[in-house]
Structure 1
Amino acid sequence: MLDIASIRADAPGVANVRHFNHAGGSLLSARTLKIITGQLEREAGFGAMESQPPAAEAVEVARATAARLLNADASEIAFTSSNSAAYGLALAALPPLQRGQRILVGRQEWGGNLSSFEAKAEAAGATVEQIPCLPDGSVDAGALKHMLDSRVALVALTWAPANGGLLNDAEAVGAALAGSGIPYFVDAAQAIGQIPADVHKIGCDVLTAAGRKYLRGPRGTGLLYVRQGFLDRLNPAYLDVISAPWNKGPQVRPDARRFETAERSLALLMGFGEALRQAEDYGIPAIRQRIQTLSEDLRTRLAGIEGVSIEDLGAIRTGIISFQIRGWQAVEAMQELARRQINVGANGLAYTPFDIGARGLPDLIRASVSYLNTEEELAELVANVHDMSRMR
């Protein structure tokens, strides 16, 4: 059981807002904040370079923690400035696309990834194709298997989409690709920290995550997992003294740190390490159970309000609830709730272009639940949405 009272006592933000935007950026713990500011104070007081050695040791502890959370080896983990940076670094390191090659993606693929895929495909004369969905809206791994041929250069899956609530079956996709040699990338930005993850069970070659979301780390942090046996298939777009130390020529590192650079915020990475440690201490299975209980309760209660429509898919769902309030644009509703000290998100076409387009939806209000939310906060959100639903 999670000690929610203790967790909230260590989260300064809960005194100011009812926060339902954990998929955008969660609330830091006081301990994480103290570690970040402490390192910045040391750098200000004694010099940035002089304060580096003990901080660098803490970062390596964080790397080991991240590896345990993913059931990976520490040598397979690189730290980056964001999920997008991690994904972009790995994508840019793949061999150039050739004319006629194919990139296969789920319908809920993150819009930023799609922009990169489309740009690369257009330049090379390749194509980006959607994998069919199962009736619940999730990726159909069986259909994917029938799409595979020698022209497929990459299969990409957003594990927990930005909206729509569903959780794709990442393991089933990995099983469909087993033995094919086709690169398999998993964008786990919204999954890591709320869903137990095992990269060996998933069978992915690359997995990325954001620090600021469900892991409750600081903005400006992310992680990149690259399977050890896949590293040699990746040629980093650029190198520096960390990724390729000079010894009679550049010596590219044999581990995932070939994607790291010397210039990085040690303060943020130390804070990220504390957030990772807390996630490990609380236990992701316990976190998952609480988020699932709270989010299903919230879905049910919102669905019972006249004028509110839930737009979630999936037989298995995450803590992300997407909905509309009749008469309200998503951004307008988000701003009105913020005026009432309740944080939610608003997103749509730019975030999941294929899915939003296929379903003909407008931008959506997104309430994302974390384990530190309470039943009382859920009730307050529901009451305010009910009030707004009667205003127009």
Structure 2
Amino acid sequence: MNLGEVERLRAATPGCASVIHFNHAGASLPSQATLDAIIEQLRLEALCGPMEAADQSVQARARSAAALLLNANTENIAFASSGSAAWGMAFNALGPWQDGERILVGRHEWGGNLACIARAVSAGARLEVIPCDETGAVSVSALQQMIDPKVKLIALTWLPANGGLINPAEAIGAVARQHGIPYFIDAGQALGQLPCDVQALNCDVLKGAGRKFLRGPRGTALMYIKPGFLERLVPGHLDVLSAPWNGEGFSVRDDARRFETSEVSVALLAGLANALEEFNHLGATRIRQRIEGLSGQLRERLESVSGLTLHNLGPANQQSGLVAFTLKGWDSVELKQRLAQRGINIGANGVAYTPLDMQARGLDSIARIAVSYLNTEEEMDVLLNALNELSLIKD
């Protein structure tokens, strides 16, 4: 991805002209075309009536683009209002849980997923944490040693919210398939950053929000469910879309849309469709290369900031675009607010986001820079100058 292409992409993104945005892991900046798709659908709804303007081709476009993104079939794609909602629906559809059944998770598991698992634990299931290897990633060899007939689920947060780790999702999938154990991947930070092939990952369920590195609108998410695994999932909620009337009664759908409802924001799906098509056009490999280059350069430069501590996990030569750090004397939320006053957006995460990992590392909070292919070296210069100045205030 050359600089001329980056400049064209930035020119097509209104937010790039008004803010220096390093919070793509929270929510990225949508393109003008994505905004136009949403607005046009809302305009049609206002002129024709919301029901009358609900063109099914919008959903078909979004589903086709999502399937292409994941190397899946369209019938294996469902949309939801958030990644957490998608994961929770799939997890709850696995039940009921029995005494002694084991759920294995990485130490970096997303807090929302752990909140869902807590209900299974209260029913008698056991939550167990897979040990980390010497780099801090989930240990595949340790996982292999933990497998027995009581293991009913392996869950992985592929790219944790609190740092640059890229967990070995494909290798973990191979273990899950070897033993016939259901495997859920939270790809919330991976989608839009890395190539994501569900066939290679060998996962049964994968989910991610549209608002992060995919640059789609808030209130959208996608979920993949593997063919053959769908029949094992009994949704907790059904309506006339997920269980249509067949003339004699209501029959649950035989595709992933058994997890959707008849009420949906077509405008948001129009925006998501455009964002997914833009991502597919650019290509995941090219995007990965740019993010890897920029974030690697940024990590090196951050080491020169007085009082700044990086909180990296995983091999140094294989990091995501999420850069976690703390700055001496600064609360992470306060630091985020002070940078926002300078027109620089970053993130700040507390223990609740990744409680097992944060507690294991003795961290109360971290500040988070999330790099996108939209970011530039000039923006990094501004960020580093600001951090250097703020480090002196409380030195």
TM bucket normalised to smaller = over 0.9
Aligned equivalents of 1:329, 1:302: Cα separation in 2 = 18
2:345 is aligned with 1:336: no
Matched, 1:24 2:23: no
Counting only pairs closer than 5 Å after superposition, residues 1-392 of structure 1 correspond to structure 2 as 1-2=1-2, 3-52=5-54, 54=55, 56-122=56-122, 124-247=123-246, 248-315=248-315, 316-392=318-394
- Specify the SS of the correspondent of 1:228: coil
Letter in 1 for 2:354: T
- Distance (Å, rounded) in 2 between the aligned partners of 1:185 and 1:109: 11
SS at match of 2:351: coil
Counterpart Cα distance in 2 of 1:98 and 1:304? 52
Contact 1:118 1:127 in 2 (8 A): no
CA distance, structure 1, for counterparts of residue 240 and residue 270 of structure 2: 21
Give 3-state SS (helix, strand or coil) of 2:156's partner.
strand
Q: Distance in 2 between matches of 1:334 and 1:7?
A: 26
SS in 2 for 1:390: helix
Asked if the contact 1:23/1:214 (under 8 Å) is kept, the reply is: yes
Inter-partner Cα distance in structure 2 for 1:125 and 1:87: 20
Deviations 1:36-77 (A, max 9, x none): 01111111111001101x3x2121121111111111111100
- Alpha-carbon RMSD across the aligned residues, in angstroms, is 0.8
The answer to whether the Cα contact below 8 Å between 1:142 and 1:176 also exists between their aligned partners in 2 is: no
Structure 1 residues 88-119: Cα deviation after superposition (integer angstroms, max 9, x where no partner): 11011112110011110000000111111122
Letter in 1 for 2:196: A
Q: Which runs of 4+ in 1 moved over 4 A?
A: none
CA deviations on 1:159-192 (whole Å, 9 max, x unpaired) are 0000121000100101111232211000000000
CA distance in 2, matches of 1:337, 1:160: 25
Q: 2:17 is aligned with what amino acid?
A: A
CA distance in 2: counterparts of 1:177 and 1:131, whole angstroms: 13
Give the number of equivalent residue pairs. Answer: 389
Higher mean C-alpha displacement, 93-102 vs 338-347: 93-102
Determine the C-alpha separation between the residues in 2 that align with 1:120 and 1:219: 29
Distance 2:379 2:299 in 1: 14
Alignment partners' CA distance in 1, 2:95 and 2:362: 36
Q: Which amino acid aligns with 2:214?
A: L
Identity across matched positions, percent: 53
Q: What is the deviation of 1:297?
A: 0.8
SS at match of 2:367: strand
- What do residues 278-316 of structure 1 show as CA deviations (whole Å, max 9, x unaligned)? 000011100000000010111111111121110111112
Amino acid at match of 2:376: T
The residue type equivalent to 1:193 in the other structure is G
Opposite residue 314 of structure 1, the aligned amino acid is G
SS at 2:393 equivalent: coil
Q: Secondary structure at the match of 1:88?
A: helix
Q: Do the aligned residues in 2 keep the contact of 1:97 with 1:153 (CA within 8 Å)?
A: no
C-alpha distance in structure 1 between counterparts of 2:61 and 2:48, whole Å = 23
Q: Is the 8 A contact 1:244 1:251 kept in 2?
A: yes
SS at match of 1:156: strand
TM-score normalised by the chain length of structure 2? 0.97
